[in-house]
Amino acid sequence: MIRDVVIKVDPSMIDAADYLRDRVHRQHKPEDGELKAHRLLKKSIDARKQAHYVLRYRLYIDEMPESYQSHRDQYRNVRDAEAVHIIGAGPAGYFAALQCLKLGLKPIIYDRGKDVRQRRRDLRAVQQDGIVNPDSNYCFGEGGAGTYSDGKLYTRSHKRGPVRDVLEILAEHGAKEDILTDAHPHIGSNKLPQIVSAIRETIEHHGGEVYFDHRLIDWEENDGKLGLKFADRKQIIWAKALILATGHSARDIYTILHRKGLSLEAKDFSLGVRIEHPQPAIDRIQYRRQQRGDLPAARYSLSCRVDDRAVYSFCMCPGGLIVPTSTEPGELVINGMSLSRRDSPYANSGMVVEIPVDSLPESCGDDALKTMRYQKQIEQHMWSLGSGSQAAPAQNLMDFIEGRDTIQLGPSSYIPGLYPCRLDLELPQEVSHRLREGFLIFGKKLRGFLHPKAQIIAVESRTSAPVRIPRDPESLRHPDLPALYPCAEGAGYAGGIMSAALDGMRVAQRIAVAMDA
């Protein structure tokens, strides 16, 4: 018999193994049978009154838990198997590749950027010198945008596929096993590079191939296959099945598809700022105590509607940092991240406004790329406000709300630096107006959110892809190009590490079915 029980634990006792075991055993009734084992299923925090941990355990009565089957044991040697070509070494590309290993297909992955170790040099260059390498930055390179942008693993996408499998695979490649039980699992940008490297080693050990510094620039069609052309390389590589998993910032890929006359769809996206608070202020708001003590850095999630559009927090990073995520010179984009310990003195979150396709100005055109053009225009405008570096425009939160100059900015986690700017005037008015009203609503929901030291920084514009690449709902092929399989965030079908990984696995599965047909 299996029975689930829930216990509530004071934060000071969360690491006391003997105490927890005793609490769990007290939940068992001897008359039900012999307690053979117990396992922790989920750990979360309830801070509605007095903050405490909520632990859900599974009790195994008169039976033992099923033995764990390692995913590594399911991977086949595919050196001589039929190839599946994958553009993009992010979570979608790598998890599609791992699924190919299970299915007996040979994944061959190409990424425009560098491996995780070499990529760090280009991250230092953009942080410290404002130099943006278009092929190697916070968005492009091994591991994709998620590698150096926090590593959140929380998802509501349980209907999309086996979430537990993704978490187990990450744990097998070096992530702490806490991710299997935490309600909001998180790895951290300092830990993800080693995990990503370990996944690549698994792919290559079983016969898959991974190539960096391969930027796709075109392809030709012949007899149902695609001849792939890469920058600075003369060889054409022929692919029977191509997974396009390039992420939401690969604008050149959208341009190639548009130029070839393939179906694309403009889609709604969101635009706004990063808001940064002192982390102790968020802790006090959420935990209702002066010091958080044994509790982790507090997080929040906020949303409302202003004038029939959503205003919401995005990618909240407790104990985090704000980083420059531009992918081209002459533009300014920021995002948030956290290290594994989440011990920065700052909390930051995207605060964004929904931008419907039908609300864009005529200057953006009237084709599938108009949302992309609008996004780019805003990013270039924000960059033009500065001195040509990656320093970002910022404004005190209360100054933004009340429409006044910020005389002096406070300290920030953003390494390239901040300068005062009237973001209430420089952001599109449809955005600044809704943000202002949204902040006032959030201030009522979270007392203390309108903190005198809170600052907003621009611009947060890469919350999701501005373009959708259509695909058949069953086969997952592009309707105009059967050899092409649009995948994950860059195609408009995922958002975040987990949903991207799940979509990659799903696409690989469909390809296997098609190849067996």
The answer to whether residue 67 sits within a structural domain is no
DSSP string computed for 31-75 = GG--EEEEEEEEEEEE-SSS-EEEEEEEEEESSPPPPP--SGGGP
pLDDT digits (tens, 9 = 90+) for 131-159: 999 999 999 999 998 888 667 887 765 56
The answer to whether residue 143 sits within a structural domain is yes
**DSSP conformational letter for 493:** S
Distance CA 455, CA 450 (A): 10
Confidence class of residue 406 from pLDDT cuts 50, 70 and 90?
very high
- Looking at 412, 437, 460, the residue that finishes a domain is 460
- At residue 134, what is the residue type? P
Q: Are residues 359 and 439 in the same domain?
A: yes
The answer to whether residue 66 sits within a structural domain is no
Predicted confidence (pLDDT) at residue 160 exceeds the cutoff of 70:
no
What is the domain-level CATH number for residue 16? Answer: 3.30.1660
Tokens of 370: 């108009």
Domain housing 502: 72-263+469-516
pLDDT digits (tens, 9 = 90+) for 200-226: 999 999 999 999 999 999 999 999 999
- The kind and range of the H/E element at 101 are helix 91-103
Q: Are residues 478 and 426 in the same domain?
A: no
Q: How far is CA 316 from CA 76, 98, 177, 269, 515, in A?
A: 39, 29, 22, 18, 41
Beta bridge partners of 132: none
Q: Are residues 208 and 166 in the same domain?
A: yes
* 170 HSE (CA, 13 A, CB side): 28
Q: Are residues 288 and 335 in the same domain?
A: yes
Instruction: Average the pLDDT over 13-26 and give the result.
Output: 95
The answer to whether residue 274 sits within a structural domain is yes
Distance CA 503, CA 381 (A): 34
Q: Which residues contact 445 (CB under 8 A, 6 or more apart)?
A: 302
Distance CA 189, CA 239 (A): 33
Q: Which residues contact 63 (CB under 8 A, 6 or more apart)?
A: 1, 2, 36
Instruction: Average the pLDDT over 182-192 and give the result.
Output: 90
Q: Are residues 253 and 346 in the same domain?
A: no
The answer to whether residue 298 sits within a structural domain is yes
Q: What is the mean pLDDT of the chain?
A: 95
pLDDT digits (tens, 9 = 90+) for 451-476: 999 999 999 999 999 999 999 999 99
The answer to whether residue 16 sits within a structural domain is yes
- Looking at 22, 39, 61, the residue that finishes a domain is 61
The answer to whether residue 130 sits within a structural domain is yes
pLDDT digits (tens, 9 = 90+) for 102-142: 999 999 999 999 999 999 999 999 999 999 999 999 999 99
- Looking at 61, 91, 109, the residue that finishes a domain is 61
The answer to whether residue 107 sits within a structural domain is yes
Q: Are residues 487 and 447 in the same domain?
A: no
Quote the number of domains for the chain: 3
Q: Are residues 145 and 253 in the same domain?
A: yes
Q: Are residues 156 and 275 in the same domain?
A: no
427-466 exposure pattern, b = at least 16 Cβ within 10 A, e = fewer: bbeebbebbbbbbeebeeeeeebebeebbbbbbbbbbbbb
What is the domain-level CATH number for residue 117? Answer: 3.50.50.60
Q: Are residues 259 and 281 in the same domain?
A: no
Q: Are residues 196 and 255 in the same domain?
A: yes
Give residue 420's pLDDT: 98
Q: How far is CA 162 from CA 99, 102, 506, in A?
A: 12, 14, 10
pLDDT digits (tens, 9 = 90+) for 309-332: 999 999 999 999 999 999 999 999
Q: Are residues 44 and 128 in the same domain?
A: no
10 Å Cβ neighbour count for 328?
A: 17
According to DSSP H, which parts of 130-223 are helical?
Answer: 163-172, 192-205
Q: Are residues 336 and 415 in the same domain?
A: yes
Give residue 430's pLDDT: 96
